[in-house]
Amino acid sequence: MIPSVMDPAFAAATIKPKLAELRKSTDQLQAMFVEELVKEMRKGAGGEMSQMTGGDIYNGMINQTLSETISKQSDLGISDMLYGQLSKTAIQQVEGQALIAHSQQTQPTSAVQPDKK
């Protein structure tokens, strides 16, 4: 039996893992965006750390920690907006692939081949 596109078990097995991966990716993209913002804001502030040996490494660690905290604790909405748009596309792709697979399996095969010219 061919699984239906509307079958909940089929949807869960094919769509949910893709949506979970998409959510992770959009969260990571938001964190990267926030990290760039933090880096530029802190660059403008200057300070003694940037002039010390290893200051760039230390500033990079601070920037990363700040950006992760800001991204997780605030509701910027970048990740949610991207996820909302891209999840629709991902669902349509999975449904389209299932319909194509279903139609290919249900097409009758003919013993007579068309003439090729």
Provide the pLDDT confidence category of residue 1 given band limits of 50, 70 and 90. very low
CB 97 within 8 A of CB 18: no
3-state secondary structure 47-66: CCHHHCCCHHHHHHHHHHHH
Question: Does a structural domain hold residue 80?
Answer: yes
Greater model confidence, 5 or 46:
46
Question: Does a structural domain hold residue 1?
Answer: no
pTM of the predicted model over 0.75:
no
Question: Does a structural domain hold residue 90?
Answer: yes
Question: Does a structural domain hold residue 29?
Answer: yes
Determine the structural domain holding residue 18 and report its residue range. 8-102
Question: Does a structural domain hold residue 85?
Answer: yes
Tens-digit pLDDT profile for residues 47-91: 656 567 777 788 888 888 888 888 888 778 999 999 999 999 888
Rg (C-alpha) for the chain, rounded Å, is 25
Number of independent structural domains in the chain: 1
Question: Does a structural domain hold residue 38?
Answer: yes
Which residues neighbour 52 within 8 Å (Cβ) at sequence distance 6 or greater? Answer: 58
